[in-house]
Structure 1
Amino acid sequence: MSELARRLTTTDAVVIGLGSMLGAGIFVAFAPAAAEAGGRGLLIALVLAGFVAFCNANSSARLAALYPESGGTYVYGRERLGDFAGFIAGWGFVAGKTASCAAMALTIGAYLWPAHARPIAVAAVVVLTAINLGGIQKTARATRWLVTVTLAVLGTVAVVGAAAGHPTAARIWDADDAGARGILTAAGLLFFAFAGYARIATLGEEVRDPERTIPRAVPLALSLVLAIYLVLAVVTLGVLGPERLASSPAPLADVVSAAGAPGLAWVVRIGAAVAVTGVLLALVAGVGRTTLAMARRRDLPGALAAVHPTRQVPHRAELAVAAVVIVLVSLGDIRDAIGFSSCTVLVYYAITNASALTLRGLRVVPALGLVGCVVLAVTLPLSSVLAGFAVLLAGAAWFRFRPQR
């Protein structure tokens, strides 16, 4: 069996985690979450989503250190709970994250050239797949540059918005009560923005000294992203208010425009495209690795298990993922993809926490993570819940009736 090379350091792993998360929340998920929860509810939902993500990260890090190979919870579920649990985790991850790839690609097109969003999205998928096929070190190097540009743009928005946007506490702490249901729905949508830390675990076979690197990299990347999101949420709400944020297709561009710097709007748009490009780059790599792990065990076609002899990447799996994403780009809708992806990925992390409950040691954190995942999954918009569970049922049927391996 071909093995992947261990080339990633702790810094590389943290950078890939940041690249997977930064941008997705503020550029994609904040607006629909604000529509569900309002101002005060958005901040509460953000903290709740971050807490559930922390529980999941803790469970993921413990399991990844024990099973440092590609596949993430697909591997953990098989090892700790049985083949079916692992298969459902892998199936849900591949389906949900492939939809996320399409949503991210469409976001790039919408920001760079709205009138031709789909062709731009297809071009982005092709270019980023080519980068990933060049080797995992090239992925980490490219992600480092993308994260640097993203942080610079987000920092500019925060400073300009806070200094010249006249943020007010009334807008930030909106008195309208969205109710528990609205906050939970918003938290489920915002979870989409935190799920990128899983990319560190799914790349476990390529991390140096995984027993030490992964438990350090996962919580560090997650903590940095949560702090950045909270700052930007406060500034954005303070300048725009929840109603304007909920209806805005480009909230950060609106922040700098409202702050009297409309000339920065295009800078922000380009920064948004760069941020989402970083997310998509790491997403394609992560989905390819999980596809590789499933193909190795014949839960997906065995031809996808090939590893390139020179570049040490799962080239067939990544090409297959890219092909499916290109098809979805021609049919998909960004907001529907967010809800669908959140539903299937929350199920994925529910299995992560259930797997961690079988380990020795403190079990309170994985228990809270398991309950949190289930609650957020079932309180997502009904269409997202139905679509997500329909795909999971289809996967269960395939598992039951697939040809003998």
Structure 2
Amino acid sequence: MTTSGPELRRTLGVGDAVVIGLGSMIGAGIFAALGPAARAAGSGLLLGLAVAAVVAYCNATSSARLAALYPASGGTYVYGRERLGAFWGYLAGWSFIVGKTASCAAMALTVGAYVWPSHGHAVAVAAVVALTAVNYGGIQKSAWLTRVIVAVVLAVLASVVVGCLGSDASDAGRLGIGLSSGAGGVLQAAGLLFFAFAGYARIATLGEEVRDPARTIPRAIPLALGIALTVYAVVAVAVLSVLGSAGLGLAPAPLADAVRAAGLPGLVPVVRVGAVVASLGSLLSLILGVSRTTLAMARDRHLPGALAAVHPRFQVPHRAELAVGAVVAVLAATVDVRGAIGFSSFGVLAYYAIANASAWTLSPAPTSRVVPVLGLLGCVTLACALPGVSVVVGAAVLAVGAAAYGVRLWAASR
């Protein structure tokens, strides 16, 4: 594998990479995704979380193996290109960019909804501009800010867990696991919860900026995923013990409603602040990851070559970051958060499906292919289980990307 153009500075260690992954996973998803997932799964919410975790583990394992072998910016765009061919790499990059750009808009809109609901779109745009400026200043500044955000969010979540489980309103009987909404509801909940798990992709897309990537990335990805899974499971149990699956499904702000039901109204403002900080952390890491995949695709001329420029002082893909920030700002000013989340989930699952297919080619040994096969089947299943509108729109956008690739090849051959 060769990389054209200036290379990025390798400054991140295992701890930095784990923090960036956590900043993406332990973000707005835990404050917002539990409610919709509970509505979809009913008493099967914890089963949905378990399914999402299994698929995420398969994806993380495949990504870690591939990232150690191909330590360049771009993640599955690079893996698909090297293992499956140029088209599949391109489709992975396209899925990631469009899906995660929608995620960026969703996170920005979440910030706006919590900070100033009546002017949510304006606040969202301001958040995008501010965090794009932070990323422009260099990867170490981004890693430092993400570390602060993760610490604050974990502290808030810890207060929610202690408050709920320690209250008289907590009842273990509300944790009953069943299939009140059927297997389809559990799978849809898993797809929605996967939206909150997918942050470990950011570690892989930063492969050109970590020290000793063959050692750092395989350690950082499972560590980040394991910590996030533990946090999500504990928070889900605590909230369910107070609200139950029915109450959780109706809660517009699940964690805030849970602490209020636990008799702790003083914690509600703290949870609101935590949600804002978490959303900012997710947005910071998302812009970081999307810009790096944009850089990789621009290097290969699938996107305008000008986006491959690396800043001579800060050594970041500054034009790609500015372009991504501009697109996200436009979306944050115009789109609805629900549509953004549904579309994002479809695009990210398509991205990881290609990652698992790429990992399948690494070894002919049957035991080495079990995880990639499970991951691939899981991604396809969860993508198809998402709400119908998300599936149709997501498939249409992937088709547009594939058509654009075909047109580019046709034009190059003439």
Output the TM-score relative to the length of structure 2: 0.96
Matches within 5 A, 1:85-100: 85-100=88-103
Q: Which residue of 2 aligns with 1:310?
A: 313
Q: Which residue of 2 aligns with 1:278?
A: 281
Measure, in 1, the Cα distance between the counterparts of 2:251 and 2:406: 44
Q: Deviations over 1:128-162 (max 9, x none)?
A: 11100000000100000000000000000100111
Measure, in 2, the Cα distance between the counterparts of 1:289 and 1:217: 18
Q: Which residue of 1 aligns with 2:369?
A: 363
Measure, in 1, the Cα distance between the counterparts of 2:345 and 2:312: 35
CA distance change for structure 1 residues 400 and 234 in 2, over 3 Å: closer, same or farther?
Answer: same
Structure 1 residue 23 displacement after superposition: 2.5
Sequence identity (%): 65
Structure 1 residue 329 displacement after superposition: 1.0
2:46–2:177: 8 Å Cα contact kept in structure 1?
A: no
Structure 1 residue 100 displacement after superposition: 0.3
Amino acid at match of 1:26: I
- Alignment partner of 1:268 is 2:271: yes
Q: Which residue of 1 aligns with 2:250?
A: 247
Q: Which runs of 5+ in 2 are unaligned?
A: none
Q: Which residue of 1 aligns with 2:52?
A: 49
Q: Which residue of 2 aligns with 1:143?
A: 146
Runs of 4+ in structure 1 off by over 3 angstroms are none
Q: Which residue of 2 aligns with 1:13?
A: 17
2:205–2:289: 8 Å Cα contact kept in structure 1?
A: yes
Q: Which residue of 2 aligns with 1:37?
A: 41
Structure 1 residue 24 displacement after superposition: 3.2
Q: Which residue of 1 aligns with 2:182?
A: 179
2:45–2:177: 8 Å Cα contact kept in structure 1?
A: no
Structure 1 residue 67 displacement after superposition: 0.3
Q: Deviations over 1:297-329 (max 9, x none)?
A: 000111111110110111111111111111111
Measure, in 2, the Cα distance between the counterparts of 1:182 and 1:135: 42
Structure 1 residue 27 displacement after superposition: 1.2
After the TM superposition, which of the residue ranges 307-316 and 356-365 deviates more from structure 2?
A: 356-365
2:191–2:383: 8 Å Cα contact kept in structure 1?
A: yes
Measure, in 2, the Cα distance between the counterparts of 1:263 and 1:155: 15
Equivalences, count = 404
Structure 1 residue 176 displacement after superposition: 6.1
Structure 1 residue 257 displacement after superposition: 1.1
Amino acid at match of 1:356: A
Q: Deviations over 1:250-280 (max 9, x none)?
A: 1111111112121221111001100111111
Measure, in 1, the Cα distance between the counterparts of 2:194 and 2:406: 30
Q: Which residue of 2 aligns with 1:24?
A: 28
Selected match of 1:4 from 8, 15, 21: 8
Q: Which runs of 5+ in 1 are unaligned?
A: none
- Alignment partner of 1:111 is 2:114: yes
SS at structure 2 position matched to 1:164: coil
Measure, in 2, the Cα distance between the counterparts of 1:8 and 1:373: 29
1:25–1:229: 8 Å Cα contact kept in structure 2?
A: no
Q: Which residue of 2 aligns with 1:238?
A: 241
Measure, in 1, the Cα distance between the counterparts of 2:391 and 2:178: 29
CA distance change for structure 1 residues 236 and 165 in 2, over 3 Å: closer, same or farther?
Answer: farther
Structure 1 residue 9 displacement after superposition: 0.5
Q: Which residue of 1 aligns with 2:393?
A: 387
1:32–1:335: 8 Å Cα contact kept in structure 2?
A: no
Selected match of 2:357 from 335, 351, 354: 354
Amino acid at match of 1:6: R
1:61–1:214: 8 Å Cα contact kept in structure 2?
A: yes
Selected match of 1:319 from 319, 322, 325: 322
Selected match of 1:400 from 384, 390, 406: 406
Q: Deviations over 1:57-96 (max 9, x none)?
A: 0000000000000000000000000011001100000000
Measure, in 1, the Cα distance between the counterparts of 2:293 and 2:39: 33
Matches within 5 A, 1:119-268: 119-164=122-167, 166-173=169-176, 177-268=180-271
SS at structure 2 position matched to 1:260: coil
After the TM superposition, which of the residue ranges 233-242 and 132-141 deviates more from structure 2?
A: 233-242
